[in-house]
Every structure is written in structure tokens, then in C-alpha cells.
Amino acid sequence: MMPSDIRTRSTNPALLPGLFRKQFELCRIKPGDTIAIVSDLGTRTEYIEAAFAATDMLGADIYEMRVNAIPGWTNVGTPTIGQCKGTLEALKACDMILIFHVPLFASWLREVMNAGVRVQMIIDAPDDLYALQAPKGLKEAVMHAHRVYEQARQVRVTSKAGTDLSYSCGEYPVMSQYGFADEPGRFDHWGVGLIHTFPNEGSASGRVIVQPGDVVILPYCRYVQDHIEIEVRDGHIQSIEGGLDAALMREWLADGKTHEDDKDPYALSHLGWGLNPQCRWDSIALYGDGPERSRAASRCFPGNFLFSTGPNTQGGGKRTTRGHYDLPMRECTIELDGKRVVEEGRLIDPKMIVPREVR
Ligand SMILES: [Fe+2]
């Protein structure tokens, strides 16, 4: 049993079919639709049972395709689909894929999305599926933020701790997730609420000061314990100084290099902010550091600045590196072309603020 199961009451498994039904309704599943599950050897059986039961309730059809893999949390982009004959064709023919590992940065995902298939990812614990499921108004808030971010050309992120990072954008699309895949070709992740884009190549520069209480959500699930000073120039991290947390980051990114001069792990990747009021910054303190309790919660708490390094193929770029770090930061101020949207870690554009639902 996972420590997180011992620490907290788990959602009654009998509630899961109802929860999946609500999710499918958010995804606009209609009678006659076909859902294909892409599961793996690590997928919870009760999720498959719940998805089957919920699909029956809605008069749709569903089947499970289990891939011969246990994709890890840290090796995103594993090509789980496409090598077995017929799998890609099958997935392109359905209305929605329910996937239980991270397909982002894998090329097959783009192919099925281009075919108009919705992709709903589920990688969080039952308690989180319940607590973080998209509240009323989240989609509208995320799409508003999406449009605002899309118009921005120059972004500046500052903090009292000393962060002062600038980048320009427009070269890569803004990407957003509000927790449910309701439009053709849409990818989404149950429990989230965030937007991001990739900085224009070579444009990011400045310094990022990571503080205790910021979160490393990939590859670790860990509150930062001491300051990290990151120098950024020409779109890449030039140095990482500090104590243990700096050492962890430096070693992980160095480990992602494929050759001595490989700079890809040090490239800044998706940059954006969280908007889901259901997500809690203190989720690791409350529920432990199991990745299943942190994937959505820790990256989407409202107003966090999500700093990251590594691959950018999901946005149309060419980097596929394993050196990938995701670091939601608190108490940052984000300015888009001089206009503040986040002030010291709080959303200040009223249209981006969604009331928290007590569950
Ligand atoms: Fe990332």
C-alpha cells in the first residue's frame, strides 16, 4: 500500500463510475461514440471498470488497448503506440482516447489529434480525480488566459526573491488545459487548469531564483529546500548554483545530455501559469510525495509560474531531450507586455479567477 493511502481517506471506489460519467459528460460523449482506452501494466483496474460502467450509462461504446509497457513518470514521450500493427489506425478511428500514462511529446499523439480525436489523460489518484475535477468556470478562465497570453510578445517574470526573467513569444502556439477533452483534436488532463507557451528560440534571458517551498514536480515530487540561482542567456540555462536542490537539478540535466556539447536539456521549455482553484500548493505536505497525488495538483495551483526546461516538440519545436525539469514557483509576478496578470503568486485578472468548490 502506498503511504498516501495510509495518510488520507481514499475516495470510495463505488463513486468512481459516477465520477467518470461526469467527466465523460464534460467531454461531451454522446450515444454511439467510441472511446478507446490506452492503458498499460500499471493502470488501476478500478479506472477501467469505472470507464466501462460510465460509458454504458451514456450509451456509448468502449474498449481497452493495453500496451506492453510501464511508462515511467520521468521518461515522457515513450512511443507506446505505433509499433504494434494496427494500433495507430484504430486510435485514429475512435472519437476519444482515454489514456493512463503521459503521451505528450510522442509523435503518435499529434497524429491522432490531427485526425480530430479527443485525448483525455488520467494519471492522478482517485482522491484527486474527485477533488480537482474542473469546477464551474474553469474552461472560460483558462481560455481567457489563453487569448491574453497569445497576444503577448514580451513577458517578464519577477519576484522579491530576485527572479528577473524575460522572454519573447509568438513563435510557438499557446497551449492550454482545463481538465476535459471536449473539442475535436483536443488533449487534456483530468484535474489540471493551466496555460503555457514555449519562448521564442534564444529569447529567454535573466535569472531565476527558486525559493524554499517552490515545487519540483518533474522529475521529483519535492518541495525545494534551499535557494537555486539559475542564470539564463540565449534561451538556455548557463549555470545552476546553490545547495542540494541546485545539485539535483544540475545532475539531472547533465544526465539528460546525449553528448558532451548537448545544450538541449538546458533550453527553457514550456512557461506559463496555473489556474485551477481546486489544486493546492500544499498537496505534497498533506498527502505525501507519491507522484499520483501531485501530477495535477502541484503544477496547477492558481498563480504559480511554471518554469521548465527540456523538450519542445509538443509546441512544434525540434528538441526531444530527456533532460526535462518542471518547477512550479510561488510568489512570482508575471507581466505580459508590461501588464500584470499575476502579482506575487496571485492571479489579478478577475476573468482568470475561478471560485474554489468545496468538495
Ligand atoms: Fe515539462
CA 191/CA 132 separation, integer angstroms:
5
Average pLDDT over residues 74-94: 81
How far is the centre of ligand 1, averaged over its atoms, from the C-alpha of 123 (Å)?
15
CA dihedral 83, 88, 90, 96 (to 10 degrees): 130
Q: What pLDDT is stored for residue 220 in this prediction?
A: 93
pLDDT at residue 16 greater than cutoff 90: yes
List, for residues 132-180, the tens digit of each pLDDT value: 999 999 999 999 999 999 999 999 999 999 999 999 999 999 999 999 9
Q: pLDDT > 90: what percent of the chain? A: 81
How far is the centre of ligand 1, averaged over its atoms, from the C-alpha of 232 (Å)?
17
pLDDT at residue 79 greater than cutoff 80: no
CA 75/CA 24 separation, integer angstroms:
28
**What are the residues facing 347 on neighbouring strands?**
342
How far is the centre of ligand 1, averaged over its atoms, from the C-alpha of 93 (Å)?
29
Largest CA distance in the chain: 57
pLDDT at residue 253 greater than cutoff 60: yes
- Side chain identity at residue 68, one-letter code: N
Which is higher by pLDDT, 76 or 99? 99
The H or E element that residue 343 is part of is: strand 339-343
How far is the centre of ligand 1, averaged over its atoms, from the C-alpha of 71 (Å)?
16
pLDDT at residue 130 greater than cutoff 50: yes
What is the rounded average pLDDT for all residues in the chain? Answer: 93
Q: What pLDDT is stored for residue 291 in this prediction?
A: 86
User: In Å, how far are 71, 180, 242, 291, 321 from 255, measured between CA atoms?
Assistant: 19, 34, 18, 21, 10
Q: What one-character DSSP code corresponds to residue 324?
A: -
Q: What pLDDT is stored for residue 1 in this prediction?
A: 42
pLDDT at residue 77 greater than cutoff 70: no
Report the candidate in 171, 169, 189 with the shortest Cα–Cα distance to residue 180. 189
CA 238/CA 231 separation, integer angstroms:
5
Superfamily of domain 3-123: Response regulator (3.40.50.2300)
Q: What pLDDT is stored for residue 9 in this prediction?
A: 59
Which is higher by pLDDT, 103 or 50? 50
Which is higher by pLDDT, 151 or 76? 151
How far is the centre of ligand 1, averaged over its atoms, from the C-alpha of 313 (Å)?
11
Q: What pLDDT is stored for residue 7 in this prediction?
A: 56
Average pLDDT over residues 319-335: 94
How far is the centre of ligand 1, averaged over its atoms, from the C-alpha of 327 (Å)?
8
How far is the centre of ligand 1, averaged over its atoms, from the C-alpha of 137 (Å)?
25
Of 53-62, 65-74, 206-215, the one with minimum mean pLDDT is 65-74
How far is the centre of ligand 1, averaged over its atoms, from the C-alpha of 246 (Å)?
18
**What are the residues facing 333 on neighbouring strands?**
158
Of 2-11, 121-130, 177-186, the one with minimum mean pLDDT is 2-11
pLDDT at residue 2 greater than cutoff 50: no
Per-domain residue ranges of the chain: 3-123, 134-352
Q: What pLDDT is stored for residue 57 in this prediction?
A: 98
Cβ atoms within 10 Å of 262's Cβ, excluding its own: 14
How far is the centre of ligand 1, averaged over its atoms, from the C-alpha of 321 (Å)?
11
Average pLDDT over residues 79-104: 88
pLDDT at residue 76 greater than cutoff 90: no
**What are the residues facing 159 on neighbouring strands?**
332
Q: What pLDDT is stored for residue 49 in this prediction?
A: 97
How far is the centre of ligand 1, averaged over its atoms, from the C-alpha of 305 (Å)?
13
How far is the centre of ligand 1, averaged over its atoms, from the C-alpha of 4 (Å)?
24
